Amino acid sequence: MITRCRPLLGTLVEISVPDEAVAAIAPAFDAIAHIHARMSFHEPASDLARLRAALPGHSVAVGRETVAVLRMALALHRATKGLFDVTIGRQLVSSGFLPRDSVEHLGRFRGTSADIAIVDDTHVRIGRRVLIDLGGIAKGHAVDRAIEVLMENGVPMGLVNAGGDLRAFGDRDWQVQLRDADDVVRLAVPARNCAIASSANLLNRRRHRGAIHGPHVGLGRQPVLVDERITVVAEWCIIADAMTKVAMVDPILAGQILDAYKGYVLPNAPVAATMAKAV
Amino acid sequence: MKRRVYHTALLAALAAPSAVHATVYMSAEQAQAVMFTGEVLRPDFRQLTNDQVSAIRKASGEAPLRHDLKAWRASGGGWFIVDEVVGKHEFITFALALDASGAVKSVEILDYREAYGSQVRDPRWRAQFTGKRAGQSLQLGRDVRNISGATLSSKHVTDGVRRLLATYAIVLAHAG
């Protein structure tokens, strides 16, 4: 296997393929770079920048992939009764987890995911103004896209890891080490034809106006602070990525939704993460 | 009788938890071939003056880790630079490719070293890897741990790229 690594999506992205398939790595990274350009909160030319400038009632042109990710985000927002919400940008800017520059009048972004309407495959309209952050879902989508590109290029097996959100395919087991919330690796699981995503915030907290905040926000826009790693296995990485945030707050609800997507919350005991039984 | 004094500092350092992990993705030569396919690269190493270092720090908000700048000039007019960044637990070597206008073409991580404790901030600890990077003992990209956990930030690499863009503007842009 050959592994390459690039800084994208605010993290370090690794792509591993067999030696003879090394030429497929560059187009897979290109697909991720495209997603980075469209869906990064920090990129001034991104679709997210257009959406935060968007005025209520106006249709905004965005990329197809952005619409695809928003469709999934909105479906998860409904399925989780508002728990999974990509409009938490306001809270994350306020608590210092996202940069304040390029965001004017933070208080005006009062909308939730319920204010986002998909017009067609390349247009979105908002009700109230929203500050969208796709940090909880775009990495998963990027991993899925990169895997598709590898497959389209005839690569027989591979692994894409976007800073902890990963997906493996092909006829082999991949050892995946799980880094616990305290930064220590205690458990490794063999993964085969599945996606694995983990979230934790024990070591990523800051104080803002007398309260402790983390990068995860739950119902009522309250910070979600958990001291443990949450790991989700699913067929697609977009689901695994997004559902870690739901499982942090409500593991039972997360389990119910994951049932429909051939996934589950990984128990904290050694098991094999595999989709073989589900496929 | 003269009492023998043992030097124990080294033993204390050994006893401290030192979960060091290193991943080598590419050599500098491989990165050159990938980032400047078909072009010829000539080394154009520089020694940064103190004035340049402070100008770079002022322009980018980041101080260079060292005074020697490992830069190569590509036959098409671009630049290839190898540099390092230090995070809380990690020490990362990366390569930056600039096109002839000084815009970023691509960034590749060459290697990633992780250590717990203060080692990673100690230049002597880092020095032990200097020159070993070409993969004498490590197989390139074959030693990768697949890790799932809280998202790792690439902020230090992004800061390092910004610092090298300032370095380019101050030191390399006017090279003949």
Concatenating the DSSP letter of every residue in B14-38 gives: HHS----EEEE---HHHHHHHHTTT
Measured distance CA(A258)–CA(A241) in Å, rounded: 12
CB contact, 8 Å: B117 with chain A? no
The per-residue pLDDT for range A132-181, each reduced to its tens digit, is 999 999 999 999 999 999 999 999 999 999 999 999 999 999 999 998 88
Exposure b/e, B11-46, CB count within 10 A at least 16 = b: eeeeeeeeeeebbbbbbbebbbebbbeebebeeeee
For residue A201, the chain B residues in CB contact (below 8 A) are 150
- Tell me whether residues B89 and A174 touch, CB distance under 8 A: no
pLDDT of residue B149: 85
Chain A with chain B: Cβ pairs closer than 8 A: 113
Q: Is the pLDDT confidence value at B10 over 80?
A: no
- Tell me whether residues B25 and A4 touch, CB distance under 8 A: yes
Measured distance CA(A195)–CA(A172) in Å, rounded: 14
The per-residue pLDDT for range B72-122, each reduced to its tens digit, is 999 999 999 999 998 878 889 999 999 999 999 999 999 988 876 666 667
Name which residue leads in pLDDT, A198 or B149. Answer: A198
Q: What is the mean pLDDT of residues A95-106?
A: 82
Measured distance CA(A94)–CA(A109) in Å, rounded: 12
Exposure b/e, A163-191, CB count within 10 A at least 16 = b: bbbbbbbbeeebebebbbbebeeebebeb
Angle at A143 between CA B83 and CA A206, to 5 degrees: 65
Measured distance CA(A250)–CA(B118) in Å, rounded: 37
Please check whether residue A125 is in contact with residue A58, taking contact to mean a CB–CB distance below 8 angstroms.
yes
Residues above pLDDT 70, as percent of chain A: 96
pTM of the predicted model as reported, rounded to 2 decimal places: 0.88
Q: For residue B26, what are the contacts with CB-CB under 8 A and spacing of at least 6? A: A4, B34, B95, B108, B110, B140, B141
Measured distance CA(B9)–CA(B82) in Å, rounded: 34
Residue from A63, A66, A164, A55 nearest A115 by CA: A55
Measured distance CA(A57)–CA(A124) in Å, rounded: 10
Nearest CA in chain A to B106: A6
ipTM value for the complex: 0.85
pLDDT of residue A179: 87
How many other CB atoms sit within 10 Å of the CB of residue A15?
27
CB contact, 8 Å: B168 with chain A? no
Q: State the greatest distance between any 2 C-alpha atoms of chain A, in Å, as a whole number.
A: 55
Task: Return mean pLDDT, chain B.
Answer: 81
Q: What is the mean pLDDT of residues B27-51?
A: 95
Tell me which H or E stretch contains B158: helix B155-167
Minimal CA separation from B86 to chain A, in Å: 14
The per-residue pLDDT for range A41-60, each reduced to its tens digit, is 888 899 999 999 999 999 99
For residue B147, the chain A residues in CB contact (below 8 A) are 161, 164, 176-179, 185
Nearest CA in chain A to B31: A4
For residue A191, the chain B residues in CB contact (below 8 A) are 146
Minimal CA separation from B7 to chain A, in Å: 31
Confidence of residue B41 (pLDDT cuts 50, 70, 90): very high
Residues above pLDDT 70, as percent of chain B: 72
Minimal CA separation from A119 to chain B, in Å: 32
Exposure b/e, A236-252, CB count within 10 A at least 16 = b: bbbbbbbbbbbbbbbee
